[in-house]
Amino acid sequence: MSNNLPVCRAHWQDIPHIVDLVVGPFADSTIGAWLVPDDHRRRNILSAVVRVWIEHALLFGEAHLLPDHSAAAVWLHRYGPLSPPAGYGERLAVACGEYVDRFLHLDDVLHTHRPDGPHNHLAFFAVAPQPYRVRRASILLATSNARMGHALLPTYTEVATLADRNLYARHGYAALEPFTLPDGSTTYPMWRTPRQRRARHRSSTPPARPDQRGPALNDLPIRLILDTSAILAFTEGSTAVGQAIARVADEGGLFGLPVMCLAEAARSVTDAGRLDLLANHPAATVLTVDPLQWKTLAATHRAVGRLDTAAALLAAAANDCRVLSDQPGR
């Protein structure tokens, strides 16, 4: 039903539009003025910082837009501890210069008050000052909530005004204890618990084994296989891998993670949290090797020299799709 609403998922090329939407009111706010006291540099600095976080959201979350780009919702999937963007400290220092400590202080305040449990975090929600602004906000918020609700996880956000707090309350959000930002302004955290889906009729067929994909996923095609190098690249913040899996998800497909590639990546990954996020991505499916294919696996292993690479090639052949690798020549 939500697919019929006039809301689309944002792509990498939409980032400049989202940045403009977010930075407009941000630059005019008291917290924006506190972060960057210099009126002439404020918009450029805020734009650079907001872009870092929106890029991060497209890798570890999602963003939704109205088709005319008049409103945007940017989400982070906080299914577990979420690391900051790759190279965040360096990028922040370059963007903010002498104001970097103010941004880090704001990060600390927001982190202190953010819930710890798994949830989807509405990091940015911006609507252009056009006619029917409230209606546009309501359409986008309702649709975003519906899409986030598919994961059956709570959603969290912070709003700056009582009017916004009332808007979110009409969409099922409950107000948490307000807190004060470094500039002295008050922020209102909001929490929404998703409605539980009705239990389905019990099937007469036996339940699937843990290593089998459920019926809903079986209806979706696997369009891409990530090998070990691509998995590791994703955990290191690779935009190329992030864009590739975002395209697969946008097209209604799945990307496969061979269990041998996941296990090999886990041996050397530096950010296990991002590996968990990838494995729990709504469009991800973990693939095992069919025991009856052990001879084919062995022959492929002899040919390529790595068992995880052989598993990725077999998965691609079985699903008639390509392998995404971060290593040239593979």
167 and 235 both lie in a single domain: no
Let me know if 195 is exposed, middle or buried by CB neighbors in 10 A (0-12, 13-18, 19+): exposed
Residue at 205 is within a domain: no
CATH number at residue 255: 3.40.50.1010
How many structural domains compose the chain? 2
151 and 258 both lie in a single domain: no
Report yes or no: 66 and 7 within 8 Å, Cβ to Cβ.
yes
Residue at 114 is within a domain: yes
- In the chain, the amino acid numbered 44 is N
Q: What percent of the chain has pLDDT over 70?
A: 88
Mean pLDDT on 133-146: 87
Question: What pLDDT was estimated at residue 200?
Answer: 34
**CA dihedral sign of residues 244, 245, 246, 252:** positive
Residue at 330 is within a domain: no
Distances (CA, A) of 123 to 46, 52, 113: 15, 12, 14
118 and 259 both lie in a single domain: no
Question: What pLDDT was estimated at residue 283?
Answer: 81
Residue at 208 is within a domain: no
127 and 42 both lie in a single domain: yes
Please give the full DSSP string across 61-84, using - where no structure is assigned: EEEEE-TTSSEEEEEEEESS--PP
Query: What range defines the domain where residue 52 resides?
Result: 2-192
6 and 49 both lie in a single domain: yes
Given pLDDT bands bounded at 50, 70 and 90, which one contains residue 216? very low
For 282, the token pair is 């709504």
pLDDT in tens, 248-266: 877 778 899 999 999 999 9
Distances (CA, A) of 48 to 7, 42, 95, 184, 208: 26, 10, 6, 24, 47
Mean pLDDT on 99-122: 94
Distances (CA, A) of 237 to 53, 135, 142, 188, 297: 12, 36, 30, 31, 31
222 and 151 both lie in a single domain: no
Distance in angstroms (rounded) separating the CA atoms of residues 307 and 98: 50
Locate all alpha helices (DSSP H) within the chain, ordered by sequence: 15-28, 30-35, 39-60, 88-96, 100-113, 133-149, 162-170, 215-218, 228-235, 239-250, 259-268, 272-279, 294-304, 307-319
Mean pLDDT on 99-115: 95
The residues, any chain, with a CB within 8 Å of residue 172's CB and separated by 6 or more, are 145, 192, 193
Let me know if 64 is exposed, middle or buried by CB neighbors in 10 A (0-12, 13-18, 19+): buried
38 and 155 both lie in a single domain: yes
Taking all residues of the chain, what is their mean pLDDT, rounded to a whole number?
85
Q: Which helix (H) or strand (E) holds 276?
A: helix 272-279
Question: What pLDDT was estimated at residue 328?
Answer: 57
Mean pLDDT on 105-129: 93
- Has residue 219 got a pLDDT over 90? no
pLDDT in tens, 283-295: 888 998 888 888 9
In this structure, the dihedral spanned by the alpha carbons of residues 231, 233, 236 and 237, taken in order and rounded to 10 degrees, is -100
- Has residue 326 got a pLDDT over 50? yes
Kindly list the strands in the beta sheet with 254-258, ordered across the sheet, starting from the edge strand earlier in the chain. Answer: 284-287, 254-258, 222-226, 322-324
Residue at 202 is within a domain: no
SS3 37: coil
Domain-terminating residue out of 134, 159, 192:
192
169 and 264 both lie in a single domain: no
Question: What pLDDT was estimated at residue 197?
Answer: 41
CATH number at residue 100: 3.40.630.30
For 204, the token pair is 């007469």
25 and 162 both lie in a single domain: yes
Report yes or no: 68 and 62 within 8 Å, Cβ to Cβ.
no
pLDDT in tens, 165-215: 999 999 999 999 999 999 999 999 999 987 644 433 333 333 333 343 343
Given pLDDT bands bounded at 50, 70 and 90, which one contains residue 116? confident
